[in-house]
Amino acid sequence: MTTQSSPSPAGIALITGGGRGLGRASAVHLAQAGWDIVITYHSRADLAESTVAELRGLGRRAAALQLDTGATATFPAFAATLSGLLMSEFGRDTFDALVNNAGNSANVPFMDTTEQQFDDLMNVHLKGVFFLTQGLAPLLADGGSIVNISSGLARFSMPGKAAYAMMKGGVEVLTRYLAKELAPRRIRVNTLAPGAIATDFSGGVVRDNPHVAALVAENTALGRVGQPDDIGGAVAAMLSAGSGWVNGQRIEASGGMML
């Protein structure tokens, strides 16, 4: 799933969960800014193919690889596959930006949360981010960048999101430590925390439930629900040269939700 040759890129970005939602929007915005893209997908190869086709249409090289970001045992094989892809399709042995975006969701009260639900969230949002980043760091070019996707729920609290928000809070702490430990290689690491966005995440509740959408809009300073392009644009901005002195930071893109 690759394109033919294209103009010299701004860099190569790897976006986990890039076939849909915020990942797809991020891929499109980065492609528009001149980046070549590798996305991962869990099971929806059709959506990944569609995203790759859209990126090709923007004149960029693109590829999609299957990855379960909650299955740490598969990460070494994935890193080897990515390494081969970078050399064979992009003529590089490194990439320039990692966007840890892939995620799952659960809306369950604290008292009803099962250990399995907790582990499912932890494996994808915290353990997976930790060990995937560790495994891919040797392939990330010196002077590169990492953006970890968190959530506004790590700042404000809503019933039913305790376990999910807890994992995102852990990612925000991890971001600061990575910024310190990868600094000798001049790799920037930041967190982007979206607010409520109209996607299919959590069953599409923000996108499809008018009552929820109205509640979000009422509690957002800019008076509307966020859209995928709002986050895609923010990711592209964080990876741009203009953000080159931003490091170890949490940046919330929520339109001013729950201020």
Q: Which of 25, 164, 182, 238 is catalytic?
A: 164
Angstrom distance (rounded) from CA 128 to CA 72: 6
DSSP secondary structure code for residue 93 in this structure:
S
| CA trace torsion 198, 199, 204, 206 (10° rounding) | -20
Q: How many CB atoms lie within 10 A of CB 251?
A: 15
Give the count of alpha carbons within 13 A of 2, CB side only: 13
Contact at 8 Å (CB) between 145 and 239?
A: yes
- As beta bridge partners, residue 252 has 193
**Is 164 annotated as catalytic?**
yes
Angstrom distance (rounded) from CA 184 to CA 85: 27
Q: Cα–chain-centroid distance for residue 49?
A: 18
Mind telling me the catalytic residues?
164
